[in-house]
């Protein structure tokens, strides 16, 4: 797919490189994981070539980011990347709560997540 026909955001090359570097993967590792050659990843990161829809799906899954992040010019890579439907519905409801209630909920979630991480560390 050429640059003019691209379905991805204009800053896709920068996003791809940043996602890859965050995982500390080489271009070759990413290429192998999605089934393309190394040169293709290099071209994606340089903005010379843009991926097909099928490869955008593979990249979103690989990097655990939303399609929205890769397709649009948005800053949040994990937006709408909640796999548990019930949890997603509850978060949508929580998003409509007053600000003070949201802050309380965030604090509770933060404490729960920290406790879980501590338990995981203790079992290593």
Q: Taking the domains of the chain in order of start, what are their residue ranges?
A: 3-71, 85-122
- Is pLDDT larger for residue 26 or for residue 67? 26
Q: Is the per-residue pLDDT at 12 higher than 80?
A: yes
Over range 95-106, report the average pLDDT.
91
Domain 3-71, CATH number (from 1.10.260.40, 2.30.110.10, 1.10.10.10, 3.30.200.20): 1.10.260.40
- pTM score of the predicted model: 0.57
Q: What is the pLDDT of residues 28-64, one digit of tens each?
A: 999 999 999 999 999 999 999 989 888 999 999 999 8
Q: What is the pLDDT of residues 14-24, one digit of tens each?
A: 999 999 999 99
Q: How far is CA 50 from the centre of its chain?
A: 18
Confidence at residue 95, expressed as pLDDT on a 0 to 100 scale: 83
Q: Is the per-residue pLDDT at 4 higher than 70?
A: no
C-alpha distances in Å from residue 30, one per residue of 24, 41, 50, 108: 10, 7, 15, 36
Tell me how crowded residue 71 is: count the other CB atoms within 10 A of its CB: 16
Confidence at residue 3, expressed as pLDDT on a 0 to 100 scale: 42
Report whether 16 contacts 31 (CB < 8 A).
no
Q: How far apart are CA 2 and CA 5, in angstroms?
A: 5
Residue 82 per-residue DSSP state: -
Q: Is the per-residue pLDDT at 89 higher than 80?
A: no
Query: Which tokens go with 90?
Result: 């509850």
């Amino acid at each position: 797919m050429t640059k003019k026909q691209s379905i991805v955001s204009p800053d896709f090359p920068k996003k791809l490189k940043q996602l890859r570097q965050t995982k500390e993967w080489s271009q070759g590792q990413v290429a192998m994981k999605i089934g393309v050659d190394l040169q293709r990843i290099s071209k994606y990161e340089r903005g010379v070539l843009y991926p097909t829809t099928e490869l955008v799906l593979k990249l979103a899954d690989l990097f655990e980011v939303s399609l929205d992040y890769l397709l649009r010019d948005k800053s949040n890579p994990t937006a709408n990347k909640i796999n548990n439907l019930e949890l997603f519905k509850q978060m949508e409801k929580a998003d409509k709560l007053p600000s003070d209630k949201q802050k309380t909920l965030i604090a509770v979630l933060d404490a729960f997540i920290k406790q879980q991480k501590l338990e995981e560390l203790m079992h290593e």
